[in-house]
């Protein structure tokens, strides 16, 4: 052919038909995939918030988990206040304690009750040398005409609340001993995260090592090691806790940590063993054996690094399980001791007054649910990002 049959294109207009992109490492590629998963990123944000809530939050609170103020017991996060002339505002709690509050909702003091007329449902309180009469019989009637209380002070009666305000002293309310619920939920997050991360470390150290040795050795050694795992896995967790309480003669955070540390690694061991059984026949492992590399180095340099994806996913998914287990054990009375604030302990304490003070149960329950959902969303996203069989672009 002659050159005249062709029209040469300027080099600036040329475009490659092959679409290329910058080369990424395994972990960079996994992060790129993870960022595309909206639920996983929501879970990551939720996990970060929970960690900040439990670790950093208590530093900014004016109370500790054990600080009590018996004047302000069972005060809800929001309540109705009644004006008493020009002298301030009052709030009648569910225990019929009259609390002096500011217009913004700050709890100032508990007024002294001087008289109780249980028949007519009228209680009298003393304030600045004057009597405050509170008529609450309408609160007990089905048809109260919209009037809940009648507060009389210096001859002036208030039949309707001035307004509803938020509790500025205890943002999430107080419990039956006058302790701040927000602070106690924060400390409960510390306990749950401590248990969860200790279980994770134990999984990483014991479970991975045990499973890798079992899978690499194979044969009789593998059978014996896996039967030990079956025996440990067959005993109920509550029985472990009771047995350890008898042996240690103590009930507290360390009992739960020791219990979870002694049994939670079995699932990780099974997972790693299955991964190692598939990897130990690979060429690079056979080559390492041929040149005389020790089994310890084969495990640490070749097998475990190539199973880190499933290991990370499994650890992320087991953290919410550990959180729930700790809350369950504390809920049934086998967890941390008072006055320590675990989410399970808070839920158990709130059961007695559930119908009257529902917020005391809702706050730790929502914290447990939020934590478990966040870790589950993150774990599901990590599984999609790290597992080659589940990758999609």
The whole-chain average pLDDT of the chain stands at 83
Residues 157 and 293 in one domain: no
Burial class of residue 264, CB neighbours in 10 A (0-12, 13-18, 19+)? buried
Residues 157 and 209 in one domain: no
Residues 148 and 242 in one domain: no
Quick check: helix, strand or coil at residue 380? helix
Quick check: helix, strand or coil at residue 166? strand
Q: What's the sign of the alpha-carbon dihedral 376, 380, 381, 382?
A: positive
Residues 250 and 298 in one domain: yes
Residues 195 and 289 in one domain: yes
Q: Residue 71 CB: number of other CB atoms within 10 A?
A: 16
Does 255 or 331 have the greater pLDDT score? 331
Written as one string, the DSSP assignment of 50-93 is: HHHHHHTGGGG-SS-TT---TTS-S--SEEEEEE-TTS-EEEE-
Q: What is the pLDDT of residue 393?
A: 47
Residue 273 sits in a domain of what CATH number? 1.10.3720.10
The pTM for the full model equals 0.82
What's the pLDDT tens digit per position in 59-98?
998 888 888 888 999 999 999 898 886 768 999 888 889 9
What's the pLDDT tens digit per position in 8-67?
666 665 555 554 556 667 677 778 888 888 998 999 999 999 999 998 988 998 888 888
Q: What is the pLDDT of residue 135?
A: 87
Does 22 reside within a domain?
Answer: no
What is the total count of domains within the chain? 2
Burial class of residue 337, CB neighbours in 10 A (0-12, 13-18, 19+)? middle
Does 27 or 346 have the greater pLDDT score? 346
Strand (E) or helix (H) holding 13: none
Residues 94 and 187 in one domain: no
Residues 266 and 326 in one domain: yes
Tokens of 146: 């919209």
How large is the average pLDDT for residues 278-293?
A: 84
Single residue among 141, 166, 191 that ends a domain in this structure: 166
What's the pLDDT tens digit per position in 303-325?
888 888 888 888 888 888 888 88
Residues 162 and 222 in one domain: no
Structural domain span for residue 132: 78-166
Q: What is the pLDDT of residue 307?
A: 83
Which residues lie below 8 Å from residue 339, measured CB to CB, with a gap of 6+? 65, 66, 179
Residues 252 and 366 in one domain: yes
Residues 157 and 197 in one domain: no
Does 283 reside within a domain?
Answer: yes
Contact 361/354 with Cβ under 8 angstroms? yes
């Amino acid at each position: 052919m002659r050159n005249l049959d062709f029209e040469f294109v300027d080099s600036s207009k040329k475009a490659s038909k092959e679409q290329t992109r910058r080369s990424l490492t395994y972990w960079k590629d996994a992060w790129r995939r993870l960022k595309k998963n909206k639920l996983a990123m929501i879970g990551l944000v939720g996990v970060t918030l929970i960690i900040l809530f439990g670790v950093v939050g208590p530093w900014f609170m004016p109370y500790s988990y054990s600080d009590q103020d018996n004047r302000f017991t069972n005060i809800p996060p929001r309540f109705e206040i009644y004006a008493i002339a020009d002298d301030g505002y009052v709030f009648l709690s569910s225990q019929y304690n009259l609390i002096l509050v500011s217009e913004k909702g700050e709890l100032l003091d508990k007024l002294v009750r001087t008289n109780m007329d249980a028949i007519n449902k009228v209680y009298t309180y003393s304030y600045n040398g004057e009597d405050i009469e509170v008529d609450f019989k309408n609160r007990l009637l089905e048809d109260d005409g919209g009037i809940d209380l009648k507060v009389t002070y210096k001859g002036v009666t208030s039949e309707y609340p001035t307004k509803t305000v938020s509790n500025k002293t205890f943002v999430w309310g107080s419990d039956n001993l006058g302790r701040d619920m927000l602070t106690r939920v924060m400390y409960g997050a510390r306990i749950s995260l401590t248990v969860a991360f200790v279980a994770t470390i134990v999984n990483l150290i014991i479970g991975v090592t045990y499973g890798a040795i079992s899978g690499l050795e194979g044969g009789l050694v593998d059978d014996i090691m896996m039967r030990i795992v079956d025996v440990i896995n067959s005993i109920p967790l509550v029985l472990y806790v009771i047995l350890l309480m008898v042996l240690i003669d103590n009930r507290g955070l360390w009992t739960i940590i020791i219990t979870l540390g002694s049994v939670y690694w079995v699932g990780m061991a099974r997972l790693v063993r299955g991964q190692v059984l598939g990897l130990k026949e690979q060429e690079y492992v056979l080559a390492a054996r041929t040149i005389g590399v020790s089994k310890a180095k084969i495990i640490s340099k070749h097998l475990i690094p190539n199973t880190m994806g499933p290991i990370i996913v499994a650890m992320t998914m087991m953290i919410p399980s550990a959180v729930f287990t700790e809350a369950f054990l504390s809920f049934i009375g086998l967890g941390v001791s008072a006055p320590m604030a675990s989410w399970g302990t808070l839920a158990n304490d709130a059961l007695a007054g559930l119908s009257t003070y529902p917020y005391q149960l809702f706050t730790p329950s929502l914290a447990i649910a939020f934590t478990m959902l966040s870790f589950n969303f993150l774990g599901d996203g990590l599984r999609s990002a790290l597992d080659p069989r589940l990758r999609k672009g």
